[in-house]
Amino acid sequence: MKKVVLSENQIKNLVDSLITEQQTNKVIFSVDFQNAFSSGQYNFNPQYEKIVNDNIEKIDQFIKGKNIENFKLLISSGESQVPNPKGFEEKGSLAKKRAEVLKGYLDRVLPNVLDMKPVVEISQPIIGNTPWVAGQDNKDDQKYTQEQFVKVNVVLTSNEPIKPERRVSVEDTVKMNNPQGNASGVGFVMSISELQFDPNYGYKKLGHHYELEIFPSDTDYWKSTVGNNLQALEIAIDKYKKMYKTDIVRRGTTKENNYSPEGVAQMKRQNLFNPSK
Protein backbone atom coordinates (compact mmCIF):
# COMPACT_ATOMS: atom_id res chain seq x y z
CA MET A 1 0.00 0.00 0.00
CA LYS A 2 1.28 3.47 -0.85
CA LYS A 3 1.84 5.65 2.19
CA VAL A 4 0.51 9.21 1.94
CA VAL A 5 2.30 11.87 3.97
CA LEU A 6 0.56 15.22 4.47
CA SER A 7 2.35 18.42 5.33
CA GLU A 8 1.29 20.51 8.34
CA ASN A 9 -0.44 23.03 6.07
CA GLN A 10 -2.29 20.27 4.21
CA ILE A 11 -3.51 18.79 7.49
CA LYS A 12 -4.64 22.25 8.68
CA ASN A 13 -6.50 22.87 5.40
CA LEU A 14 -8.20 19.47 5.66
CA VAL A 15 -9.33 20.10 9.25
CA ASP A 16 -10.54 23.61 8.37
CA SER A 17 -12.48 22.15 5.44
CA LEU A 18 -14.17 19.55 7.66
CA ILE A 19 -15.07 22.16 10.28
CA THR A 20 -16.50 24.48 7.61
CA GLU A 21 -18.55 21.64 6.13
CA GLN A 22 -19.97 20.75 9.56
CA GLN A 23 -20.89 24.36 10.23
CA THR A 24 -22.45 24.84 6.80
CA ASN A 25 -24.31 21.52 6.68
CA LYS A 26 -26.56 22.27 9.62
CA VAL A 27 -29.24 19.59 9.87
CA ILE A 28 -32.47 21.22 11.02
CA PHE A 29 -34.90 18.37 10.32
CA SER A 30 -34.56 14.65 9.73
CA VAL A 31 -36.94 11.89 8.59
CA ASP A 32 -36.10 8.19 8.97
CA PHE A 33 -36.99 6.08 5.91
CA GLN A 34 -35.85 2.85 7.60
CA ASN A 35 -39.18 1.03 7.10
CA ALA A 36 -39.17 1.78 3.38
CA PHE A 37 -36.86 -1.17 2.67
CA SER A 38 -37.32 -4.79 3.70
CA SER A 39 -34.37 -6.75 5.10
CA GLY A 40 -31.60 -7.18 2.55
CA GLN A 41 -33.53 -5.31 -0.18
CA TYR A 42 -32.87 -1.99 -1.89
CA ASN A 43 -36.11 -1.43 -3.85
CA PHE A 44 -39.44 -0.59 -2.25
CA ASN A 45 -42.72 -2.10 -3.39
CA PRO A 46 -46.09 -0.26 -3.47
CA GLN A 47 -46.56 -0.92 0.26
CA TYR A 48 -43.25 0.75 1.10
CA GLU A 49 -43.88 3.47 -1.47
CA LYS A 50 -46.74 4.71 0.71
CA ILE A 51 -44.33 4.96 3.66
CA VAL A 52 -41.94 6.95 1.47
CA ASN A 53 -44.71 9.29 0.32
CA ASP A 54 -45.87 9.85 3.90
CA ASN A 55 -42.31 10.81 4.85
CA ILE A 56 -42.05 13.13 1.86
CA GLU A 57 -45.19 14.86 3.13
CA LYS A 58 -43.45 15.47 6.48
CA ILE A 59 -40.51 17.08 4.68
CA ASP A 60 -42.86 19.20 2.58
CA GLN A 61 -44.79 20.43 5.64
CA PHE A 62 -41.58 21.33 7.46
CA ILE A 63 -40.01 23.25 4.57
CA LYS A 64 -43.17 25.16 3.66
CA GLY A 65 -44.09 25.72 7.29
CA LYS A 66 -40.73 27.35 7.97
CA ASN A 67 -40.55 29.16 4.61
CA ILE A 68 -37.04 27.78 4.15
CA GLU A 69 -35.34 28.68 0.88
CA ASN A 70 -31.60 28.04 1.26
CA PHE A 71 -31.47 24.32 1.87
CA LYS A 72 -30.58 20.96 0.37
CA LEU A 73 -31.57 17.38 1.14
CA LEU A 74 -28.81 15.09 2.34
CA ILE A 75 -29.46 11.33 2.35
CA SER A 76 -27.51 9.47 5.03
CA SER A 77 -27.52 5.68 5.30
CA GLY A 78 -26.10 3.05 7.59
CA GLU A 79 -25.39 -0.67 7.77
CA SER A 80 -24.73 -3.06 10.62
CA GLN A 81 -22.05 -5.75 10.70
CA VAL A 82 -24.67 -8.33 9.60
CA PRO A 83 -23.46 -9.82 6.25
CA ASN A 84 -25.16 -8.34 3.19
CA PRO A 85 -26.88 -10.48 0.54
CA LYS A 86 -25.06 -11.65 -2.57
CA GLY A 87 -23.93 -8.82 -4.79
CA PHE A 88 -23.36 -6.45 -1.88
CA GLU A 89 -20.39 -8.10 -0.19
CA GLU A 90 -18.54 -4.78 0.12
CA LYS A 91 -19.31 -2.99 3.37
CA GLY A 92 -21.63 -0.04 2.84
CA SER A 93 -22.66 -1.09 -0.68
CA LEU A 94 -26.26 -2.02 0.28
CA ALA A 95 -26.76 1.19 2.26
CA LYS A 96 -25.34 3.19 -0.65
CA LYS A 97 -27.67 1.43 -3.12
CA ARG A 98 -30.69 2.17 -0.94
CA ALA A 99 -29.68 5.83 -0.78
CA GLU A 100 -29.32 5.93 -4.57
CA VAL A 101 -32.76 4.36 -5.10
CA LEU A 102 -34.32 6.84 -2.69
CA LYS A 103 -32.53 9.76 -4.36
CA GLY A 104 -33.88 8.70 -7.76
CA TYR A 105 -37.40 8.66 -6.37
CA LEU A 106 -37.00 12.03 -4.61
CA ASP A 107 -35.55 13.63 -7.75
CA ARG A 108 -38.65 12.52 -9.63
CA VAL A 109 -41.34 13.31 -7.06
CA LEU A 110 -40.17 16.35 -5.05
CA PRO A 111 -40.34 18.99 -7.82
CA ASN A 112 -44.12 18.49 -8.02
CA VAL A 113 -44.49 18.48 -4.24
CA LEU A 114 -42.28 21.47 -3.38
CA ASP A 115 -42.89 23.45 -6.60
CA MET A 116 -39.11 23.57 -7.05
CA LYS A 117 -36.26 21.12 -7.65
CA PRO A 118 -34.14 20.81 -4.51
CA VAL A 119 -30.54 19.64 -4.46
CA VAL A 120 -30.44 16.02 -3.23
CA GLU A 121 -27.06 14.62 -2.17
CA ILE A 122 -25.84 11.32 -0.70
CA SER A 123 -23.32 11.11 2.14
CA GLN A 124 -20.90 8.25 2.74
CA PRO A 125 -22.55 5.19 4.40
CA ILE A 126 -21.95 4.67 8.11
CA ILE A 127 -20.99 1.16 9.22
CA GLY A 128 -22.17 0.08 12.68
CA ASN A 129 -19.74 -0.99 15.40
CA THR A 130 -21.71 -3.90 16.90
CA PRO A 131 -19.80 -7.16 16.18
CA TRP A 132 -21.55 -9.99 14.31
CA VAL A 133 -20.99 -13.61 15.33
CA ALA A 134 -22.20 -16.03 12.65
CA GLY A 135 -24.34 -18.87 13.97
CA GLN A 136 -24.97 -17.13 17.29
CA ASP A 137 -26.47 -13.74 16.65
CA ASN A 138 -29.93 -12.88 15.30
CA LYS A 139 -29.81 -10.51 12.32
CA ASP A 140 -33.15 -9.02 13.42
CA ASP A 141 -31.84 -8.11 16.87
CA GLN A 142 -32.45 -4.45 17.70
CA LYS A 143 -28.74 -3.88 18.28
CA TYR A 144 -28.27 -4.49 14.54
CA THR A 145 -31.48 -3.03 13.12
CA GLN A 146 -30.88 0.31 14.86
CA GLU A 147 -27.65 0.62 12.87
CA GLN A 148 -29.50 0.01 9.59
CA PHE A 149 -31.08 3.26 8.46
CA VAL A 150 -31.79 5.59 5.58
CA LYS A 151 -32.50 9.19 6.57
CA VAL A 152 -33.29 12.32 4.61
CA ASN A 153 -31.96 15.44 6.32
CA VAL A 154 -32.98 19.00 5.59
CA VAL A 155 -29.70 20.91 5.66
CA LEU A 156 -29.29 24.69 5.67
CA THR A 157 -26.95 25.96 2.98
CA SER A 158 -26.87 29.43 4.48
CA ASN A 159 -25.27 30.57 7.73
CA GLU A 160 -28.34 32.68 8.49
CA PRO A 161 -30.28 31.17 11.42
CA ILE A 162 -33.97 30.37 11.15
CA LYS A 163 -35.89 33.44 12.27
CA PRO A 164 -37.98 33.06 15.43
CA GLU A 165 -41.59 32.22 14.74
CA ARG A 166 -44.23 34.64 16.08
CA ARG A 167 -47.54 33.16 17.18
CA VAL A 168 -50.45 35.43 18.02
CA SER A 169 -53.90 34.55 19.33
CA VAL A 170 -56.79 36.27 21.08
CA GLU A 171 -56.59 35.58 24.82
CA ASP A 172 -59.46 37.71 26.10
CA THR A 173 -61.77 40.67 25.36
CA VAL A 174 -61.30 44.08 26.97
CA LYS A 175 -64.75 45.07 28.27
CA MET A 176 -66.42 48.15 29.71
CA ASN A 177 -70.04 49.09 30.38
CA ASN A 178 -71.81 50.72 27.43
CA PRO A 179 -74.35 53.55 27.85
CA GLN A 180 -77.05 50.96 28.55
CA GLY A 181 -75.00 49.51 31.41
CA ASN A 182 -74.09 46.26 29.64
CA ALA A 183 -70.54 44.92 29.47
CA SER A 184 -69.33 45.29 25.87
CA GLY A 185 -66.05 44.56 24.19
CA VAL A 186 -63.81 47.50 23.35
CA GLY A 187 -60.64 45.62 22.46
CA PHE A 188 -58.72 42.36 22.42
CA VAL A 189 -56.05 40.92 24.70
CA MET A 190 -53.55 39.36 22.30
CA SER A 191 -51.24 36.55 23.41
CA ILE A 192 -47.82 36.90 21.74
CA SER A 193 -45.31 34.04 21.73
CA GLU A 194 -41.91 33.79 20.04
CA LEU A 195 -40.60 30.31 19.31
CA GLN A 196 -37.36 29.03 17.82
CA PHE A 197 -37.15 25.64 16.14
CA ASP A 198 -34.36 23.48 17.50
CA PRO A 199 -33.73 20.31 15.45
CA ASN A 200 -32.78 18.40 18.61
CA TYR A 201 -35.63 19.47 20.88
CA GLY A 202 -38.38 20.84 18.65
CA TYR A 203 -39.86 24.24 19.44
CA LYS A 204 -38.38 26.32 22.26
CA LYS A 205 -40.29 29.28 23.63
CA LEU A 206 -38.11 32.40 23.57
CA GLY A 207 -40.61 34.70 25.20
CA HIS A 208 -44.26 35.45 25.84
CA HIS A 209 -46.26 38.57 26.63
CA TYR A 210 -49.68 40.18 26.16
CA GLU A 211 -50.77 43.26 24.24
CA LEU A 212 -54.05 45.18 24.26
CA GLU A 213 -55.62 46.14 20.92
CA ILE A 214 -58.34 48.78 21.47
CA PHE A 215 -60.95 49.08 18.71
CA PRO A 216 -60.75 52.05 16.27
CA SER A 217 -62.32 55.27 17.56
CA ASP A 218 -63.76 56.28 14.17
CA THR A 219 -66.30 53.45 13.92
CA ASP A 220 -70.01 53.38 14.69
CA TYR A 221 -69.39 50.54 17.15
CA TRP A 222 -66.98 52.72 19.13
CA LYS A 223 -69.41 55.64 19.24
CA SER A 224 -72.29 53.47 20.44
CA THR A 225 -70.22 51.59 23.01
CA VAL A 226 -67.73 54.15 24.34
CA GLY A 227 -69.26 57.45 23.28
CA ASN A 228 -67.97 60.22 25.52
CA ASN A 229 -67.32 57.92 28.44
CA LEU A 230 -63.54 57.99 27.99
CA GLN A 231 -62.87 57.79 31.71
CA ALA A 232 -64.59 54.39 31.95
CA LEU A 233 -62.57 53.24 28.93
CA GLU A 234 -59.29 54.20 30.59
CA ILE A 235 -60.33 52.44 33.79
CA ALA A 236 -61.09 49.28 31.80
CA ILE A 237 -57.78 49.47 29.95
CA ASP A 238 -55.88 49.95 33.22
CA LYS A 239 -57.68 46.96 34.70
CA TYR A 240 -56.64 44.66 31.84
CA LYS A 241 -53.09 46.02 31.81
CA LYS A 242 -52.70 45.00 35.43
CA MET A 243 -54.48 41.68 34.88
CA TYR A 244 -52.16 40.66 32.05
CA LYS A 245 -49.07 42.53 33.29
CA THR A 246 -48.52 44.54 30.14
CA ASP A 247 -47.93 48.17 29.25
CA ILE A 248 -48.43 47.67 25.52
CA VAL A 249 -51.70 49.25 24.37
CA ARG A 250 -52.37 49.63 20.66
CA ARG A 251 -55.08 52.06 19.58
CA GLY A 252 -56.04 54.59 16.93
CA THR A 253 -58.39 54.93 13.98
CA THR A 254 -58.87 52.72 10.96
CA LYS A 255 -56.34 54.85 9.07
CA GLU A 256 -53.88 55.96 11.75
CA ASN A 257 -52.98 53.39 14.40
CA ASN A 258 -50.24 51.18 15.75
CA TYR A 259 -52.22 47.95 15.57
CA SER A 260 -50.50 44.64 14.88
CA PRO A 261 -51.37 42.85 11.60
CA GLU A 262 -52.99 40.09 13.65
CA GLY A 263 -55.08 42.63 15.55
CA VAL A 264 -56.32 44.26 12.35
CA ALA A 265 -57.17 40.86 10.88
CA GLN A 266 -59.17 39.89 13.98
CA MET A 267 -61.09 43.18 13.98
CA LYS A 268 -61.93 42.81 10.31
CA ARG A 269 -63.16 39.26 10.89
CA GLN A 270 -65.60 40.64 13.46
CA ASN A 271 -66.61 43.70 11.39
CA LEU A 272 -64.97 46.08 13.87
CA PHE A 273 -62.79 47.86 11.34
CA ASN A 274 -65.39 49.71 9.26
CA PRO A 275 -65.06 53.51 9.65
CA SER A 276 -68.16 55.67 10.06
CA LYS A 277 -69.34 57.49 6.97
pLDDT surpassing 80 at residue 57: yes
In the predicted model, what is the mean pLDDT of residues 237-243? 96
What is the rounded (10 degree) CA torsion for 46, 48, 54, 58?
Answer: -140
User: Under a CB-based contact definition with an 8 Å cutoff, are residues 151 and 76 in contact?
Assistant: yes
221 confidence band (pLDDT: 50, 70, 90):
very high
Give the residue with greater pLDDT, 185 vs 88.
185
Question: What pLDDT is recorded for position 8?
Answer: 53
CA torsion through residues 115, 68, 100, 149, sign? negative
CATH 3.30.1330.60 domain extents, the chain: 9-156
- pLDDT classification of 203: cutoffs 50, 70, 90: low
What does the pLDDT read at residue 10? 44
> How is 103-154 classified by DSSP, letter by letter?
HHHHHHHHHHHHSS---EEEPPPEE------TTTS-TT-HHHHTT-EEEEEE
Per-residue model confidence (pLDDT) at position 144: 77
- Superfamily of domain covering 9-156: OmpA-like domain (3.30.1330.60)
Judged by average pLDDT, the poorest of 5-9, 96-100, 264-268 is 5-9
**pLDDT (tens digit per residue) in 22-46:** 444 578 888 887 666 666 667 776 6
Quick one: pLDDT at residue 199? 54
Average pLDDT of the residues of the chain: 82
Average pLDDT estimate for 252-258: 94
pLDDT at 83: 78
Residue 175 CB burial class (10 angstroms; 0-12, 13-18, ≥19):
middle
Most trustworthy range by pLDDT among 64-73, 135-144, 243-252: 243-252
Cross-strand partners of 30: 153
Asked whether 211 and 221 are in contact (CB, 8 A), the reply is: no
- Above pLDDT 70, what percent of the chain? 82
**The pLDDT of residue 55 is above 80:** yes
Spatial distance between the Cα atoms of 247 and 83, rounded to a whole number of angstroms: 67
* Residue 90 Cα to chain centre, angstroms: 37
- pLDDT, mean of residues 262-274: 93
pLDDT at 33: 79
More confident site: 89 or 266: 266
**Helix (H) and strand (E) counts in the chain:** 7, 9
pLDDT tens digits, one per residue of 84-125: 778 777 888 888 888 898 899 889 888 988 888 889 999 888
